[in-house]
Structure 1
Amino acid sequence: MATSGPSAGGGAAAAKNSWPELVGLPSEDAKKKIKEDSPDANVQVVPADAFVTMDYNTGRVRVFVDSNDKVAKSPRIG
């Protein structure tokens, strides 16, 4: 039996859709990491208490920051 093919391991990793590890980092560091993982993402930095639209956009990642410009909650696609 052959051990190659899609089920043999390896292959491309699943696309990332959230970045919980970025909470607490400065917004610029978070933007850099998100762009590394999703180069085509439209990364938006917004205050944690800002009003934003509730539409779901697969090309957008919002980075909510506190008053010290630190990521306040896990950025995610949408």
Structure 2
Amino acid sequence: MSSEDCPDVGKSSWPELVGVAGDVAVATIEKENPSVNAVVITPETVWTPAIFCDRVLVFVDANGIVNSVPTVG
């Protein structure tokens, strides 16, 4: 399964959030697509890679700044 397998449920990618604070990104994502749950992933966060169509992982650097494009999956 890949993120392409997720049904179209609204906005699914936020390239404009690269470079902003993680908490701001989470609020923006959940406002623009209420059907997803955005989760900040810090360099110290332990997480299991898996595709969830109702989740957006927001990867941030050590300063809490988004460093890759958040996408559904």
| TM-score band, normalised by shorter chain | 0.7 to 0.9
Aligned length: 65
Larger Rg: 1
Equivalent residue of 1:77, what SS?
A: coil
When you count strand as a share of all residues, which structure comes out higher? 1
TM-score (norm. length: structure 1) = 0.73
Q: Which amino acid aligns with 1:19?
A: W
Structure 2 unaligned blocks of 5 or more:
1-8
* 1:61 counterpart residue number: 56
* 2:34 counterpart residue number: 39
* 1:71 counterpart residue number: 66
RMSD across aligned positions (CA): 1.7
Name which structure has the greater RCO, CA cutoff 8 Å, separation 6+.
Answer: 2
TM-score (norm. length: structure 2) = 0.77
- Judged with a 3 Å threshold, the aligned counterparts in structure 2 of structure 1 residues 40 and 15 are, in CA distance, closer, same or farther, namely closer
Are 2:15 and 1:20 equivalent residues in the alignment? yes
Deviation at 1:48, TM superposition (A): 4.4
Structure 1 unaligned blocks of 5 or more:
1-13
Contact 1:48 1:72 in 2 (8 A): no
